[in-house]
Structures are given as structure tokens and as C-alpha cells.
Amino acid sequence: MTSATASIMVSILGMADEASAESFFVSGRGALFGWLAIISVFVLVSIVMARGGKVFKVRPIAGLSAVDEAVGRATEMGRPVLFIPGIQDMDNVQTIAGLTILSRVGKTTADYDAQIEVPVSRSLVMTAGREALGASFLAAGRPDSFNEDQVYYVTDEQFGYTAYVSGLMVRKKPAACFYMGQFFAESLILSETGNSIGAIQIAGTAETSQLPFFVAACDYTLIGEEFFAASAYLSGEPDQMGSLRGQDLSKALVGAVLVLGVVAMTAGALVGGLDGVTGFFQSLVGG
């Protein structure tokens, strides 16, 4: 922690002196704390504004607009919808984002009276997935159509799971495949198998190493932050839209700091004598 941050903490929290602040706070995390606070304020203020009636627009995301089309196609063809919420556990935010999308896809599936199958690779995800899907069917007014065996556990082993899902695809030929969560090497195996059976495929992940594979093999791909924006986009709820707005404001701030920082550091290196400015930007990244 910088001495400036320590001083602020001393004055805010009424600590005896800077030394006690130093022993109370984890050192070197001042900048991180500052960024966390700013992002949280942006998100919370935007949510409050949205609740107050402020309308925020969100750009069209093709992959999410295609959810209805994909489920409708599966219904017409009389084939199931396959949903994979990644291969990680419930402590992974991508899995949670995937289940959020499952609840929307599940509701559409229930509306259309289509079949959905959700094989998962973690036991806890199975339990949470059943909750999410069950509530979706309930919200669609079709609680009787929900069968908890639609969400089932396969194995934790990465390629054991991949082998099972690939086999399932070849045998049952789902008309729509959703891959929403964290994926690793199995991403291309699954999406290429889905492609070979002619399924319409929508993927979403924040695992950047797998994005090229999904882009190559799927019809639509939610890239990084689009994946996390899906819940706001699909629900349109003011709280969700507000949080999206807060996220965008944060990104604008990060972009501005990035550009100014690059300019300041470059100028500092070229002309010198800008130690105060360059030091300020270094402190923003905890350096």
C-alpha cells in the first residue's frame, strides 16, 4: 500500500497512525482496492439510475438474438436442444453466467415445448442446473414438462466428458447446441461434432484461448464480455441493464487511463522531467 493510501485509510477509519494502517491492510493492494471501488460505484449508481426510470440501450448481439431461432428450429425438427454450461464448477463465474443463460434458454424451450438435455461435468453444477431449469419451466407455465433427469452428471474427467457428449450428439443429433461457460481443449471437438451433424450452434466463453475454435465452428459466438452481458440482454431488466451500463462506464475509464498513461509514459521517456505524472500513472496500476 502506498503511503498516500495509508494516510487516507488513517483519516477515514480513524486509525492511530500510518503504521497501524500498514499492519491492518494487505500491502500493495491500494490500486486494486481503488479500481474495485470505482467499478462497484459505477455499477451500483447505474443500477439506481435504471431503477429510477433511466432507459439504457444495448447494441444487438447476434448470438443472443438467435436463441429463439435455434430453439424454434429444434422444435420444428423434433430434435432436442443440447446445453453445455462449460466444464468447470460452481466456483467459476463463467459457469454461473452459463447457468444464467440456461435459465433463459430453458424458458424458451419450455415455451416451445421442445426437449432439452443438459449433461454436466460437475455434481454441484447438476444440482444448480436442475434448480435453474426447473424454475424456467415453472416460469413458462409448464412445470409438468420438467424432468430433473434432463440435467445429469457425466464425469469430472475432461475428455471422458467430451467423449460422452460427442457420442450423444452423433446418436441423438440435437438441432441446436449451446456451449456457454469455460471450455478448454474440448471446445473444438464438441463444436466440430455439432457442425458435422448440422446443428445450429451458439457458443459463449471468456476463455480467450478457445474463442478462435468456437468462431470457426459455431454459427454465433459470444466473445468475452458479451457472454457476461447475455443475462442483461436476454432479460432486459432495469437492474441488469444498469449493471451493463456501469460495466461500460468502467471500460471507458480504463480505456482513457490506458491512453493517457501511454502518452504520459512516452512523453516522460522522451522529454524527461515528468516524474510526478508518470509516478501517478504507475501508482494506478499498483507499480
Partner 1 sequence: MSRQLAIIVTLVAGVLMVVSGFIKPTEGWGEDVAEWFNILAAIAFVLGAANIAKVHLSKISARDAGWGFSAITLLAFAVTFAVGIMKVGVNPMPAFPNVAMSGEKDAGGSAFWWVYTYVMSPITATMFSLLAFYVASAAFRAFRAKNTEATLLLVAAFVVLLGRTFAGVVLTGWIPADSDWAFLRFENLSTTIFEVFASAGNRAIIIGIALGVAATSLKIILGIDRSYMGSGD
Partner 2 sequence: MSFIDRLDAIDRRWIFAMMACAVAIPIIVIGMTGVRFPEVPGPTSTAAFEAIEALPDGAKVLFSFDFDPASAGELQPMANAFMRHLGQKKAKVYCQTLWAPAPPLIEDTLKKCLLARNPDLVYGVDYLNLGYQAGNEGVMKVITTDYKQSFPTDAKGTRTSEIPMMQGIENTSSFDLIVVVSAGYPGSKEWVQYVVSPTLGKERPIQLVAGVTGVSAPQLVPYFPVQMKGMLAAIKGAAEYEFMVNEVIEAANPGRPLPPAFMEAQRRMAPQLFGHLLMVGLIIVGNTIFFLKRRQSRRGGTMGAAA
Q: Does the footprint of partner 2 cover residue 210 (CB under 8 A)?
A: yes
C-beta of 237: minimal distance to partner 1 in Å?
Answer: 8
Contact partner, 134, from partner 1, partner 2, none, Cβ < 5-8 Å per class: partner 1
Residue 76 grid coordinates: 420444428
Q: In this complex, which beta carbon is closest to partner 1, that of residue 128 or of residue 264? A: 128
Listed in sequence order, the residues at least 6 apart from 201 whose beta carbon sits closer than 8 Å to its beta carbon are 176, 177, 178, 179, 191, 194, 195, 217, 218, 219, 220
- CA 74 to CA 144: how far, in whole Å? 20
CB neighbours (10 Å) of residue 70? Answer: 25
Residue 166 Cβ, how far from partner 2 at the closest point, in Å? 14
Q: Which is nearer to partner 1, 213 or 281 (CB)?
A: 213
Please say whether the beta carbons of 174 and 82 come within 8 A: yes
Q: How far is the CB of 42 from partner 1 (least distance, A)?
A: 9
- Does position 184 interact with partner 2 (CB under 8 A)? The reply is yes
DSSP letter for each residue of 156-210: SSHHHHHHHHHHHHHHH--SEEEEES---THHHHHHHHHHHTT-EEEEEES-GGG
Residue 276 beta carbon to partner 1: minimum distance, rounded to whole angstroms: 26
Interacting stretch for partner 2, rule CB under 8 A, among 44-52, 74-82, 151-159, 167-175? 151-159
For partner 2, the closer of residues 71 and 218 by Cβ is: 218
Q: Which stretch binds partner 2 (CB under 8 A): 66-74, 138-146, 181-189, 224-232?
A: 181-189
Label the pairing between strands 200-205 and 116-120: unpaired
13 sits in the region (left: phi over 0; alpha: psi -120 to 50; else beta) called alpha
Distances (CA, A) of 37 to 3, 240, 264: 19, 19, 24
Q: How deeply is 217 buried, as exposed, middle or buried, from its count of CB atoms within 10 A (0-12, 13-18, 19+)?
A: buried
Q: Contact with partner 2 (CB under 8 A): which of 124, 196, 263, 275? A: 196
CB of residue 206 vs partner 2: minimum separation in angstroms?
Answer: 11
CA distance 139 to 234: 15
**Based on CB atoms, which residue is closest to partner 1, 78 or 276?**
78
Give the distance, in angstroms, between the CA of residue 286 and the centroid of all CA atoms in the same chain: 26
**Beta carbon nearer to partner 2, 143 or 167:** 167
Annotate each residue in 30-69 with x if it binds partner 2 (CB under 8 A) or - if it does not, as one string: ----------------------------------------
> With CB under 8 A as the contact rule, which of the stretches 8-16, 131-139, 204-212, 232-240 interacts with partner 2?
204-212
Q: Which of residues 39 and 277 has its CB atom nearest to partner 1 in the complex?
A: 39
Residues 158-177 that bind partner 2 (CB under 8 A): 158-159
Question: What is the contact surface with partner 2 in residues (CB under 8 A)?
Answer: 28-29, 88, 157-159, 182, 184-185, 196, 208-210, 286-287
